Amino acid sequence: MPVFDLGRVRNWTSVPAPRFVGGNRVELLEGGAALFPRMLEAIAGAEREVWLATYIFHDDESALGIAQALGAAAARGVAVHVVVDGFGSKGTLATLRAALVPAGVAFEVFRPIERWYALLQPGQLRRLHQKLCVVDERIAFVGGINLIDDRLDLRHGWNPEPRLDYAVELSGPLAVAVHATARAMWARAHLGQNWRDGVRQVVRSGAPVNEGLAMLRSLRGAARLPEEADTSPVRAAFVVRDNFRQRRAIERSYVDAIRRAVHSVDIAVPYFYPGRRFRRALRQAAKRGVTVRLLLQGKIDYRIAALAARALYAELQAYGVRIYEYTPAYLHAKVAVVDGRWATVGSSNIDPLSLLLNLEANVVVDDEPFAATLAARFQAAFAVSTPVGSTPARAGWRGWVQRAAVAWMANVYLRVAGITGRY
């Protein structure tokens, strides 16, 4: 009977704990128009391996350009691994397989949905929402940008203006952590749509071990960040929400930064319905004199999500939080700047799905020049957004009923997904 090394599987499927390390280069990229050419250049220069994880991998011209580059890299002998979410990329899986697999790309689907009733299975509400690409453990891309044209929305079609979204290109010690996480997402999909149950099944049967682990044995051991790293030029951390040991890591990073804020907190996010701790941190920051500004959707893609966010407007405005709605295009950015130094760019919204269900990834940067660059983008976005006036009518019983209804729906959704406790 084959020997099954559970510790080794945990190595393959676990992600590194967040930790600030120095010696990184981090550059802000706005939209796919800036991101995709950089990814193409990095993939074209790959010597050993490329790992890519994304929620949406579409079949428009921009996305297929990435697919062709991945296939070309695999054809010349680079080990290319791609994992996409089974819901976000459901409509393009056949196209992706046809473009990638014949070229030698190791292609996996995270929690595939082959029939509509698959959504009723345990865990199917928890999706791979990360957007990661790492080349040779040297160059990494992290953010909120899916592989789809900036002007194309899957629900609403083509738009005249590109959506507002961001990613970062980074190199240095932090690229090792991104590599470990992208590999873990691919390995979990490879082992099965519920990787922990898959491990248990393999342990019980013994027989499927060799086939299931043959490819994984060719991978290197879990990547570790250096114990000591330079304190320059940029200190940054890679923060992951992984549905396992780090369920609240991204939420904690936000809340801790807001609690320490002295001067300013700027947050941009399309889907906003934070839990009580997060809202309390925002209220208390504004109450002690910190300028707190939220940039939320003005051009709505999901009306229920917009109603949930607006149910909180009066509560937050009562403490001095300023709210703006971005109207020139769809807002997809998940970014923040605190006190002109702490900044984050990633895939995590501030709602129950991102904070408690989906697999997410953010880069947190402790660097004044980087924060200043992102703050300038905030100022430009605020300048073309609509300030939301106070909403006193919702501060009474109508507002309470609306917030209670949204909270009830959020809790029901989380319980269906297997998350217990109040939100």
| Confidence at residue 205, expressed as pLDDT on a 0 to 100 scale | 39
Q: How confident is the model at residue 294, as a pLDDT?
A: 98
The backbone torsions φ and ψ at residue 133, rounded to the nearest 5 degrees and listed phi first, read: -145, 130
* 3-state DSSP assignment of residue 49: strand
SS3 181: helix
Residue 186's contacts (CB-CB under 8 Å, 6 or more residues apart) are 51, 53, 81, 82, 83, 106, 108
Q: Out of 75-89, 290-304, 324-338, 358-372, which region has the weakest mean confidence (pLDDT)?
A: 290-304
Instruction: Name the DSSP class of 16.
Output: P
pLDDT at 411: 55
Architecture of the domain made up of 247-416: 2-Layer Sandwich (3.30)
Amino acid 197: pLDDT: 46
Higher pLDDT, 103 or 17: 103
Per-residue pLDDT, 298 = 93
Please name the fold of domain 6-217.
Endonuclease; Chain A (3.30.870)
C-beta separation of 254 from 294 below 8 A: no
* Sign of the dihedral defined by the CA atoms of residues 90, 182, 172, 105, in that order: negative
Specify the range with the lowest mean pLDDT, choosing from 176-180, 186-190, 404-408.
404-408
Ranking 7-11, 12-16, 226-230, 244-248 by mean pLDDT, the lowest is 226-230
What is the average per-residue pLDDT within 68-75? 98
How far apart CA 313 and CA 327 sit, in angstroms, is 17
- Residue 200 pLDDT more than 50? no
Of the ranges 41-55, 79-93, 180-194, which one carries the lowest mean pLDDT score? Answer: 180-194
User: Which positions are catalytic?
Assistant: 129, 131, 136, 332, 334, 339
- 43-70: per-residue pLDDT in tens? 999 999 999 999 999 999 999 999 999 9
Q: Is 409 within 8 Å of 296 (Cβ atoms)? A: no
Distance from C-alpha of 204 to C-alpha of 190, rounded to nearest angstrom = 18
Confidence of residue 8 (pLDDT cuts 50, 70, 90): very low
pLDDT value for 387: 96
The residue ranking higher by pLDDT, 111 or 232, is 111
Whole-number Å distance between alpha carbons of 263 and 114: 50
In the chain, what percentage of residues exceed pLDDT 70?
Answer: 75
pLDDT digits (tens, 9 = 90+) for 207-218: 333 434 443 343
- Which residues are within 8 A (CB) of 403 and not within 5 positions of it... i.e. 6 or more apart? 311, 312, 315
Confidence of residue 15 (pLDDT cuts 50, 70, 90): low
Structure-block tokens of residue 321: 């939080």
Task: Say if residue 35's pLDDT is above 70.
Answer: yes
The answer to whether 69 and 40 have CB atoms below 8 angstroms apart is yes
Contacts 24+ apart (CB under 8 A), 413-420: 413/125, 413/352, 414/352, 414/356, 414/357, 416/125, 417/123, 417/125, 417/126, 417/357, 418/122, 418/123, 419/356, 419/357
Q: Which of 69-78, 83-92, 128-137, 199-208 has the lowest mean pLDDT?
A: 199-208
Looking at residues 235-252, what average pLDDT do you find?
A: 85
> What pLDDT band is residue 302 in, cutting at 50, 70 and 90?
confident
Maximum Cα–Cα distance across the chain: 70
Confidence band for 203, pLDDT divided at 50, 70 and 90? very low
- Say if residue 335's pLDDT is above 70: yes
Helices (H) and strands (E) in the chain, counts: 14, 17
pLDDT digits (tens, 9 = 90+) for 113-171: 876 666 556 566 789 999 999 999 999 999 999 999 999 999 899 999 999 999 999 99
| Per-residue pLDDT tens over the stretch 404-417 | 666 655 555 544 44
- Per-residue pLDDT, 391: 57
234 to each of 23, 33, 175, 237, 329, how far by Cα in Å? 6, 25, 13, 10, 32
**How does the average pLDDT of the chain come out, rounded?**
84
Residue that has been written with the tokens 């009580």 in this structure: 276
SS (H, E, C) 87-111: CCCHHHHHHHHHHHHHHCCEEEEEC
Instruction: Give the C-alpha separation, 100 to 72, whole Å.
Output: 9
Give residue 303's pLDDT: 79
Q: Where in the chain is the domain with CATH 3.30.870.10?
A: 6-217, 247-416
| Alpha-helical runs (H) found in 160-302 | 174-191, 195-205, 209-217, 249-260, 276-287
Q: 311 or 186: whose pLDDT is higher?
A: 186
